[in-house]
Amino acid sequence: MQSRLKIPLLFGQDVIHGYKTTFPIPLAEAASWDLDAMTAATRVAATEASASGIHWTFAPMVDIARDPRWGRVMEGAGEDTYLGSKIAYARVKGFQGNKLGDVNAIMACAKHFAAYGAAIGGRDYNSVDMSEKTLWETYLPPFKATVDAGVATFMNSFNDINGVPSTGSKMLQREILKGKWGFKGFVVSDWGSIGEMKNHGNVKDDYEAALSAITAGSDMDMESRCYKNNLTQLLKDKKIDIALINDAVKRILYKKFELGLFDDPYRFCNAEREQAALNNPEHAKLAREVAAKSIVLLKNSNNLLPLSKNTKTIAFIGPLVKAVKQNKGFWDVEIPGIDSNFIVTQWEGLQNKLGANTNLLYAKGCDIEGTNKDGFAEAIDVAKQADVVILSIGERRDMSGEAKSRSNINIPGVQEDLLKELLATGKPVVVLINAGRPLVFNYTAENAPAILYTWWLGSEAGNAIADVLFGDYVPSAKLPITFPRSVGQVPIYYNHLNTGRPAQNDQNHIYNSSYIDESIFPKYEFGYGLSYTTFQYSNLILNKKKIKASEKIEADVTITNTGKYDGEEIVQLYLRDKVGSISRPIMELKDFKKIKIKVGESKTLHFTIDKEKLSFYNQQLQWVAEPGEFELMIGASSRDIRLKDNFELLK
Ligand code: BGC
């Protein structure tokens, strides 16, 4: 070791959705609403990464994102604070395992602190202008959840909030994170963000940038070198006290101790363990399961899906059918010596699934982008020979991700034109939409008989898609983010305020809060997703209709599988606080349960409503539950509310 004081190095990497085994992009996984699956997936990522000498991942990203133009929606858990907080907790637990110091545990990093997802116009790195109430109510809770889960590190963010760059925000880092929340780990800057404060116009030079960031509580400088080049001088000039540096150093060294690196700086490097971890067949198995759980069934007219495995001829068409790396989505990890052969393509997935009785035909049809329609004729020809057509279209994997904001979120190129031609053959067409964000695809939504939103599913994409297409997995995922009809509706999210002039429908625009040229409703709402089976909701029973703040309400609801397949349902509980000292959203997710139910079977679910679920930040930013009436809604999505009741919180 070269270090004078024998201080071991930390190796960090963006292990965002898997290391060698690539899991679905985080937004896709969020659609599973399956917290155990997400903990298991991050556990696998940590097991593989730690065996390759990685101590630290820059994940999870827990930024709430309500704007699909923002390319980094793919990296988070979507728009909802409650679901996002649960997922944030689950992912930290997965990365960090039982405890830091175990050789298969890596440090997690909650990022980007804070409100990075609220960039104005959905343009990456843009400013954020936000009330303290929205910050506390919507954007901070997932970060707090990571602290509760014991997250080792935080990363601050590129954006400014109300004119203060997060990197230099004392309020965020010292007062809230290290003060109020008692966070004992360390804060790393984002890539170069300390130096970038010069561009924000908050500091004159690197010297001032270092002063601002260290004072604000950024403990480690990622890449800008402002600390390396200026902290000593700042000390000499008595601009900072050594206690500030000692605090930052202590926080970082403490984590190195916890990881066991002072006992053995190479304890994470073990070729044998690495071989075993990177070739564990259980990891691929889990990736396949999680991928299947992430696929959202958006439409299924006349129960076209699932397809029969005895279908004679299937035409598999589109620019993503034989694509390899695309399936990984953005933020995959490149490991020297291991290439993308490890990906099961969509074509291979179908081949693996189907026996000799099925004739599988292929045509590319067109590229993802561009105007070239030369491949259409071949695609139409192939479609005509088939009993059913499957069309795989979408974005390029690097059209979402960091610095990948789009002002137009349509399906690119001539892909929807290709669909039109294929539908004209009269053959049934199942559309797979591959993307890192909600896209706008009204033609497809209205005309294709069946649609699966497959996002980017990772290493086992092909197998998982085949499992869902042929009914070996009955889809259960629900959208963790609203899908707009047009980019003009953005930002659009389900838990908005009512306004003084709420619109009830799309017919009447007279002096109400609506558009004269667009619906007020999204294309697909938060929490939406179909199954091959159907579920009936009944018997909502509240044990009390009036409670004191110290009491709880127990709510039971019965769910029956009334369809033809065993399946899983994600039952969602929403609340509305009817009158508050400040206006409350029309509904807020406050609980959910994912349950498996066999055909014909009924299950009773049990929810508990306590004071915590009724509380919000009032004007003084106090967390309070105010007496009054509440509406309780149980639904299969934020619009598909099946059962309702009211109760009262007494004075
Ligand atoms: C991103 C971070 C990432 C870092 C290191 C930055 O540009 O914003 O999320 O962890 O790079 O790769």
33-46 pLDDT per residue, tens? 999 999 999 999 99
pLDDT at position 554 is 98
Ligand 1 mean position, distance from CA 58 (Å): 7
User: From the CB of 191, is ligand 1 less than 6 Å away?
Assistant: yes
Ligand 1 mean position, distance from CA 332 (Å): 13
Is the pLDDT at 522 greater than 70? The verdict is: yes
b/e burial code for range 357-368 (CB count within 10 A of at least 16 → b): ebebbbbbbbbb
Ligand 1 mean position, distance from CA 195 (Å): 15
Q: For residue 116, which atom of ligand 1 is closest to its CA? A: 8
User: From the CB of 645, is ligand 1 less than 6 Å away?
Assistant: no
Domains 278-469 and 535-649 in one fold: no
pLDDT at position 340 is 57
Ligand 1 mean position, distance from CA 155 (Å): 9
Sequence-ordered list of residues with C-beta below 8 angstroms from that of 407, at least 6 positions apart, any chain:
69, 122, 487
User: From the CB of 111, is ligand 1 less than 6 Å away?
Assistant: yes
* CA 628 from centroid of its chain's CA atoms: 34
Give yes or no: 190 in active site. Answer: yes
Strand order in the sheet with 186-188: 109-113, 153-156, 186-188
Evaluate the CA torsion angle 228, 231, 232, 234 in order and state its sign: positive
Residue whose CA is at the smallest distance from ligand 1 atom 6? 191
% of the chain at pLDDT higher than 70: 99
Ligand 1 mean position, distance from CA 444 (Å): 35
Is the pLDDT at 483 greater than 60? The verdict is: yes
436-464 pLDDT per residue, tens? 999 999 999 999 999 999 999 999 999 99
Among 227, 252, 280, 272, smallest CA distance to 55 is for: 252
116-131 pLDDT per residue, tens? 999 999 999 999 999 9
Give the mean pLDDT of the chain.
97
Residue whose CA is at the smallest distance from ligand 1 atom 5? 191
Q: Binning pLDDT at 50, 70 and 90, where does residue 336 land?
A: confident
| Domain 535-649 CATH class label | mainly beta
**Strand (E) or helix (H) holding 257:** helix 242-258
The CA distance from 88 to 74, in Å, is: 14
User: From the CB of 72, is ligand 1 less than 6 Å away?
Assistant: no
Q: Binning pLDDT at 50, 70 and 90, where does residue 425 land?
A: very high
Orientation angle between helical segments 35-51 and 81-96, nearest 10 degrees = 30
User: From the CB of 125, is ligand 1 less than 6 Å away?
Assistant: no
254-295 pLDDT per residue, tens? 999 999 999 999 999 999 999 999 999 999 999 999 999 999
* CA 229 from centroid of its chain's CA atoms: 37
Q: Which CATH superfamily, name and number, covers 278-469?
A: Glycoside hydrolase family 3 C-terminal domain (3.40.50.1700)
The whole-model pTM stands at 0.98
72-90 pLDDT per residue, tens? 999 999 999 999 999 999 9
Ligand 1 mean position, distance from CA 190 (Å): 6
Which of 10, 14, 16, 17 is the pocket-test mutation for ligand 1 (most atoms within 8 Å of CB)? 14
Report in angstroms the alpha-carbon separations of 236 from 203, 208, 229, 231, 239: 20, 14, 13, 9, 8
pLDDT at position 337 is 75
The DSSP string of 194-224 is TTTHHHHTS-SSHHHHHHHHHHHT--B--SS
pLDDT at position 2 is 76
Q: Binning pLDDT at 50, 70 and 90, where does residue 342 land?
A: confident
Between residues 334 and 134, the one the model is more confident about: 134
Q: Are strands 628-635 and 567-577 parallel, antiparallel or unpaired?
A: antiparallel
pLDDT at position 339 is 63
Residue whose CA is at the smallest distance from ligand 1 atom 10? 58
User: From the CB of 402, is ligand 1 less than 6 Å away?
Assistant: yes
Q: Binning pLDDT at 50, 70 and 90, where does residue 61 land?
A: very high
The CA distance from 122 to 435, in Å, is: 17
Backbone angles phi, psi at 261, to 5 degrees: -75, -20
Residue whose CA is at the smallest distance from ligand 1 atom 12? 14
b/e burial code for range 123-154 (CB count within 10 A of at least 16 → b): bbbbbbebeeeebbbbbbbbbbbbbebebbbb
Q: Burial of 53 by CB count in 10 Å (0-12 exposed, 13-18 middle, 19+ buried)?
A: middle
Is the pLDDT at 59 greater than 70? The verdict is: yes
In the set 63, 124, 160, 190, the catalytic residue is 190
The residues spanned by each domain of the chain are: 278-469, 535-649
Which of 17, 58, 111, 193 is the pocket-test mutation for ligand 1 (most atoms within 8 Å of CB)? 58
What residues does 624 pair with on adjacent strands? 616
554-596 pLDDT per residue, tens? 999 999 999 999 999 999 999 999 999 999 999 999 999 999 9
Which of 75, 159, 190 is the pocket-test mutation for ligand 1 (most atoms within 8 Å of CB)? 190
Q: Are strands 588-597 and 567-577 parallel, antiparallel or unpaired?
A: antiparallel
pLDDT at position 341 is 63
- Token duo for residue 259: 């990881």
Residue whose CA is at the smallest distance from ligand 1 atom 8? 190
What residues does 553 pair with on adjacent strands? 609
Q: For residue 58, which atom of ligand 1 is closest to its CA? A: 10
- Token duo for residue 314: 């299937």
Q: Binning pLDDT at 50, 70 and 90, where does residue 1 land?
A: low
The DSSP string of 228-249 is HHHHHHHHHTTSS-HHHHHHHH
Helix/strand/coil (H/E/C) assignment for every residue in 261-322: CCCCCCCCECHHHHHHHHCCHHHHHHHHHHHHHHCEEEEEHHHCCCCCCCCCEEEEECCCCC
Q: Burial of 227 by CB count in 10 Å (0-12 exposed, 13-18 middle, 19+ buried)?
A: buried
CB count within 10 Å of CB 651 equals 8
Ligand 1 mean position, distance from CA 12 (Å): 11
Residue whose CA is at the smallest distance from ligand 1 atom 7? 191
Q: For residue 111, which atom of ligand 1 is closest to its CA? A: 9
User: From the CB of 102, is ligand 1 less than 6 Å away?
Assistant: no
Under a CB-based contact definition with an 8 Å cutoff, are residues 17 and 25 in contact? Answer: yes
- Token duo for residue 8: 């071991």
Residue whose CA is at the smallest distance from ligand 1 atom 2? 190
Q: What angle do CA 394, 16, 128 make, to 5 degrees?
A: 80
Among 441, 100, 484, 432, smallest CA distance to 255 is for: 100
